[in-house]
Amino acid sequence: MIPAMRPAERYRLIERLGEGSIGVVHRALDLATGREVALKIMPQARGATNLRGEFVALARLRHPNIVSVLDYGLTDAGDEYFTMELVAGPALTAAVGPVTAQRMWALLGGVLEALAAVHGAGVVHADLKPSNILVDGAALLHAPGRAARLADFGLATPLADPGGATARGTIGYAAPEAWSGRIDPRADLYSFGVVLWQLVLGARPFAGATPRAVVAAQRAGHPGDPRAQRPDLPPALAELMRALIDPAPGARPQSAEEVLDRWRAIAESLGYPAIASKGGAGRAPRRAAAMPTLVGRDRELAELDRAWADAKQGRGAPVVIAGEPTRMPLVTNGDCGSFGTAFLLTVIQARPSAASAALPVSPLSIRLTRNRWLSVPPETT
């Protein structure tokens, strides 16, 4: 079992990989496990924005086309960080290949599955662009439908609070209505349409000398039929591309599932039946698990059981439990704690303990922390 270690002791930064919407991402070595991970860190100077919201958003989503988070905490200097799986592979623009190649249809089909899962969990990504779609080089060779990983949820917003959204996104990719703070799944579909247009035609559909000019061009109307540049495009694909970037949200496809159905139909017409079946690799996709407040309900407990079964198979993931403040025996030494509306649960082993017997879940030894993950040594027998 991993011993308790300070972040500075546990992680060694190797190289800077890039900068996301609210943090800097490094390749790092986890000295406790010997595993390379991606470590995202945000200095305190960034202000009110925090990484915890992004970590919680990702921890609530478990899907093979969404990047998996591992660890959250604070550095000795008080800066927030979290770690996630390191997705090593080519950039999306280099990975897709030609329009007629099966790889493009599998990769982008995986992105649509991820969006469907995110929206189904009540979240809008709000910053979809090529740099936020990572590609697993190993999976690209044997399971391209699972090679794409949706990442960087720093600007994600809940559907439950449509009036609380502010202008967000990246100029040229964000939907026109995003700059007025009106965010819903159709805004993500617009961004997907821009990405698709760029991958197929080599440039974004709307250009301008200034950000204001780009947004004005988006709102003005359509860039034309993509077949004017690529006469070889399947008509159904050209029609979908135009529909996705319509400036009016009501004129676009209304859900990721609708786009995915059309995507699969076009793939099947091109002779790719494996992509036309759910999952892109001939198997049904796993739904993202969005865990609501836990009050002993059978569905939530079943989801926890499935998460634990996955962890025992080497597919561990954080589990977020949110709810009203409560007092429960949650620490292996028998102490009780009172916690607020969001806290993080780390499953550490599959052996019953005295404290875990009081919990309405499978008998697990666990430790709960409010602000950071802790690595807990095993109990002695």
Give the Cα separation of 124 and 153 in Å (integer).
9
What does 182-210 look like in DSSP terms, one character per residue? ---HHHHHHHHHHHHHHHHHSS-S---SS
Nearest to 264 by CA among 251, 283, 279: 279
Q: Which two tokens stand for residue 207?
A: 């250009």
Round to the nearest angstrom and report the end-to-end CA distance of the chain.
14
User: Is 76 part of the annotated catalytic residue set?
Assistant: no
Give the Cα separation of 260 and 117 in Å (integer).
12
87, 38 in Cβ contact below 8 A? Answer: yes
Give the Cα separation of 53 and 25 in Å (integer).
16
Give the Cα separation of 363 and 225 in Å (integer).
59
Return the number of other C-beta atoms located less than 10 Å from residue 357's C-beta: 9
CA dihedral 82, 86, 87, 90 (to 10 degrees): 110
- Alpha carbons within 13 angstroms on the beta-carbon side of residue 80 total 18
Nearest to 320 by CA among 13, 116, 93, 60: 60
Give the Cα separation of 168 and 174 in Å (integer).
8
Give the Cα separation of 162 and 126 in Å (integer).
12
Query: Which one is catalytic: 30, 71, 76, 127?
Result: 127
Phi, psi of 113 (to 5 degrees): -65, -40
Active site (catalytic) residues: 127
